[in-house]
Chain A
């Protein structure tokens, strides 16, 4: 077991780490951001859609012919379509900056690996990469991730989004037992 450090932890530039906000406050604030997004723009929040477009832009720059032969990519970047011309791209870029600023001013900006105490760094990083790949594959199949579907679709009571949300939690809980030594 990791022992809690004696002296307060610090982020880069010597900023003292502050505790996270209360989860209910976090939920209310996140709900407010989501509501304002719907109210002004008709869209909620999203992450995987914007990343998808960044990938498509990369492919379009390297292998444009490949895009024009793949129906899925064709819709994003076929011909003269600019895959970056979509609401989801600035949202993703904004989220990265917002996370960075929050981490910076709250003293949580520092290189580290969060993992269970019994796991080596190499295994943790391998699992992180594998988990990211699996999650993203499922997210594109479901046409949105936890943000775009579960959070945004859930708030406007989309039936499919609620079914999907239940499935995410169901399979994560079903597997959690087998991974208990990995995380605890």
Chain B
């Protein structure tokens, strides 16, 4: 099990009220450092844009690269599960337009929302007025976003997208490139301060060279160590289930062997019919088998393309989303389950006995679906069909009200808090 992020912070915060206090302490140091760096002073912030003092750039990029190398180093040594770290989703066009608008507000007002709070807290009147403006702006947005709701939610939406995905680079290489870019910008910023701000660079602390070297060394270490493989992540994966009325945390492989995540076809049928839940069915069989027969609503995803789906599964609302993987029996589906669990996708289940079992349960009435079992075959479709009708068989979409089947329920929703914060997801 990965040590971090800590388990209580994945669940709704109200289950552990002390977590609010932790966020409060984090916020305290956030505000303390902002004020100590001079971000409560609008003149210092505005100087950034006249090249006399590039404090904003130095503090901001200094913070970004420091946090970045530490986050990815923690991930590389296996104490932090990066898939659980909240990566803001990419809504490209609202982000670009919003960013351009923010720049206008920044140069006119001299603050950003966070810095105006510390400015207001230190009784700067301009900071207080900016903060009041922020409240007004936020209120205005809530009242007007309905006018362009669809654009705001769908335009340029790429989900959880990182720079590594965009440039097709290994994580460590990307981290090193960002560090080098930041160091180049720091050097450029000092030159600008020398020219426009008449600053004497010989008085700058020499220790900053060691800081730069440390950033490069950690970035190189991330390259050498590499990010954990799916197999390494799976070896650490654990799941919490209720067994005989008690919550137990078990290694993923034990959960499989005790058959705690294999759900009966009837449980899947009932889950599909539950309007409070969103059930994602992933069919990992061959395209030919999928075309012959599949459950209505199931999505065809060959095993080798499953990793591409992980980022979008990570951004689903865990409080109401269930993922069910299926193959002809259970072999390929179990491999798919291992991959998704290793990648920290919540609420993943396996269709017990696969499609063969589904047809055995719900296809009894269909005369033209004929059993053709071959003893000893693994993950083979054990039925023949008159034509590749896909989901147009009755058994592909059984009516849940016509079937009363006893089964042991296995699905236990893993409640997760939404990390997005703004209620924008």
Inter-chain contact count A-B, CB under 8 Å? 568
A residues lining the B interface (CB < 8 Å):
12, 20-24, 26-56, 59, 70-73, 75-76, 83, 85-104, 106, 108-116, 121, 124-176, 179-180, 183-184
A148 to B121, alpha carbons, bound, how many Å?
20
Option from B25, B38, B64, B99 in Cβ contact (under 8 Å) with A138: B99
A155 to B380, alpha carbons, bound, how many Å?
46
A59 to B163, alpha carbons, bound, how many Å?
38
Option from B29, B125, B419 in Cβ contact (under 8 Å) with A33: B29
What distance in Å separates the Cβ of A94 from its nearest Cβ neighbour in chain B?
A: 2
Q: Which secondary structure dominates chain A's binding surface?
A: helix
A113 to B117, alpha carbons, bound, how many Å?
15
Residue count of chain B within 8 Å CB distance of chain A: 139
Interface pair A111/B113, CB less than 8 Å apart: no
Interface pair B33/A41, CB less than 8 Å apart: no
Residue on A nearest B116 in the bound complex, by CB? A132
What distance in Å separates the Cβ of A136 from its nearest Cβ neighbour in chain B?
A: 3
Beyond A33-B30, A90-B21, A133-B140, whether A159 also contacts B163 by CB under 8 A is yes
Interface pair A131/B133, CB less than 8 Å apart: yes
The answer to the question of B85 belonging to the interface, with a C-beta cut-off of 8 Å to chain A, is yes
Interface pair B29/A146, CB less than 8 Å apart: no
Tell me which of B40-48, B263-271, B327-335, B371-379 binds A. Answer: B40-48
Interface pair A163/B99, CB less than 8 Å apart: yes
Interface pair A114/B142, CB less than 8 Å apart: no
Interface pair A41/B68, CB less than 8 Å apart: no
Residue on B nearest A22 in the bound complex, by CB? B205
The answer to the question of B50 belonging to the interface, with a C-beta cut-off of 8 Å to chain A, is yes
Given contacts A135-B113, A155-B63, A179-B108, 18 further A-B contacts (CB under 8 A): A27-B59, A47-B114, A55-B135, A55-B142, A70-B143, A97-B121, A100-B31, A102-B33, A114-B42, A140-B138, A147-B30, A153-B88, A167-B100, A168-B103, A171-B101, A175-B107, A183-B43, A184-B50
Residue on B nearest A67 in the bound complex, by CB? B142
Option from A21, A37, A146, A169 in Cβ contact (under 8 Å) with B26: A37
Chain A residues with CB under 8 Å of B422's CB are: 46, 48-49, 52, 88, 140, 143-144, 148
Contact with A along B20-38 (1 / 0, CB 8 A): 1111111111111111111
Option from A29, A54, A136, A171 in Cβ contact (under 8 Å) with B33: A29
Chain A residues with CB under 8 Å of B94's CB are: 141-143
Interface pair A70/B43, CB less than 8 Å apart: no
What distance in Å separates the Cβ of A90 from its nearest Cβ neighbour in chain B?
A: 4
Interface pair B9/A148, CB less than 8 Å apart: no
Interface pair A38/B85, CB less than 8 Å apart: yes
What distance in Å separates the Cβ of B346 from its nearest Cβ neighbour in chain A?
A: 13
Option from A42, A72, A102, A116 in Cβ contact (under 8 Å) with B86: A42
A152 to B420, alpha carbons, bound, how many Å?
12
Chain B residues with CB under 8 Å of A142's CB are: 91, 94-95, 97-99, 102
